[in-house]
Copies of this chain bind each other. A is one copy, B any other.
Amino acid sequence: MLQLVLDPTSALPLSEQIVIGIRARIDDRVLRAGMRLPTIRDFAERHGVSRYTVVEAYDRLVALGYARSRRGSGFYVEGRPAPAAGTPARGELARIFASAGLLHRSMDEAPNRLKVGLGWLPAEWYDEAGVRRHLRALSRQPRVKLTSYGSPQGYAPLREQLCVKLAEAAIPASPEQIVLTGGATHALDIIVRHLLKPGDCVFVDDPGPWNLFANLRLFGVNLIGVPRLQQGPDPAVLEALLGEHQPKMFFTQSVLQNPTACDLSPASAFRLLQLAEKHDFLVVEDDVYGDFHPRPPTRLASLDQLRRVIYVGSFSHTLSGNLRVGFVACEPELAARLTDVKIVTCLCSSEFAEQLVYRMLTEGHYRNYVQRLRERLLKAGARTLQMLERSGFTEFAEPAGGMFVWARAKGREDVAQLASQAAAEDIMLAPGHVFRPQLQPTPYLRFNVAYAQDPRLERFLSRAGGATPVDGRQDR
């Protein structure tokens, strides 16, 4: 059953939202050649839009070569020449991305907006004063590099320091195995560009981080979502999908996964690495939330020791999202090639920012600071769970810590509508479909616990939260 999430408040016309939604499913082969699209009447009724809108969308899909019309019989998915044509038009992708709209709304300067859907901490949770202090100290140091280009692989002392940090997580690496990048998104980007080609198939967590999905789509990769349960990827579905597809990579987060806030269990981690070996795919472990975990969690890279696992980290969530410092840790030959890709695509990262992060790690009581942040997050998380409970929400699982709660309103399926209502009150929510590889509907939303305690949210949720019947229509 084809069910799209349409946002009547979006600047994008409904017909175009339908085209984008169906295209994404065809590109990712969820809808396959020869399958019949819903009738115009069915589609219109199920989505609460006019038939004219659906006709317009279907005609556009025919014009784009994604569907064909058979006289008297309806519309069918057209066979697409793979994989060159699998490379989607760049503009279309940007619109898929813009239609989610989350990041633009996140980054808008809107001082009164309550950004409960945000993917990072409020500025006042960071150690701004500490950054200032180190900045001043750095501007006084004689040997700091401020004007000439940095070294291609990144500031060597920071790479050494990262090896110390990784060793504490039982991931042994040498500085040659570390490539510094402009954040984790950039790290994932150079991995994709070096190791994948358009038309390749990759597995991702469903739900998972939508900026990764947008990046993979931009590159023209086919995304297959593997349902993410509390313990890790759904083992039965994963095995079944491996029978159908030959993925080049599995992108996952072991620790405080975005958006579910769940950890990979040791058994799931072991099983995943066994399957990676058997089916010969690489695993990219994106560990950007690891430092928020109150206990030592299981990481794939500590089991595999950077053989089949490529590890990605960042300081954007703990020290600064503004300085743009992240890294890849992997086997040395791959690190050398990723450095080449980095040079070819952006010459080098900012060694100045890397020197600043190095100082903050080595002289800035990083451990104590992160410890305080963790505790603050745990308290905020507990209060958020209580508030959600009061407002008629149930969490997917109780998070071990970190920034997020993934929760659904009891008896309410249509959260895109809820997010639209919230936007009208300048509350930014993150409806769950943006975390799904094909933007499929889901009753869940992601809550940022640092924002969720603002009384405006509880007021809004208790008014609007459970007030909608399951069929998704408003009572009012």
Contacts and interface: CB of A to CB of B under 8 A. Distances in A.
Contact of A148 (B91, B120, B136, B183): B120
Contact of A199 (B84, B109, B138): B84
A341 B135 contact: no
B135 A147 contact: no
Nearest to A126: B147
Interface string A59-103: 000000000000000000000000110010011011001100001
A90 B211 contact: no
Contacts of A135: 135, 138-139, 146
Given A183-B346, A211-B343, A152 B103 contact: yes
A472 interface: no
Tell which of A93, A97, A350 has the most Cβ of chain B within 10 Å: A350
A322 B107 contact: no
A36 interface: no
A70 to B, nearest CB: 29
Nearest to A355: B322
Contact of A319 (B90, B147, B151, B198): B147
A103 B346 CA distance: 12
Interface residues of A, number: 72
A47 to B, nearest CB: 25
B147 A337 contact: no
B319 A214 contact: no
Contacts of A93: 344
Nearest to A184: B347
Contact of A147 (B106, B128, B150): B128
Nearest to A213: B344
A182 interface: yes
B94 A340 contact: yes
A94 B194 contact: yes
A255 interface: no
A185 interface: yes
A46 interface: no
Given A146-B132, A193-B218, A198-B84, A182 B94 contact: no
A211 B320 contact: no
Contacts of A353: 350, 352-353
A410 interface: no
Interface string A127-154: 1100110011011100001111111100
A348 interface: yes
B139 A87 contact: no
Nearest to A139: B135
Contact of A346 (B136, B322, B324): B324
Nearest to A98: B340
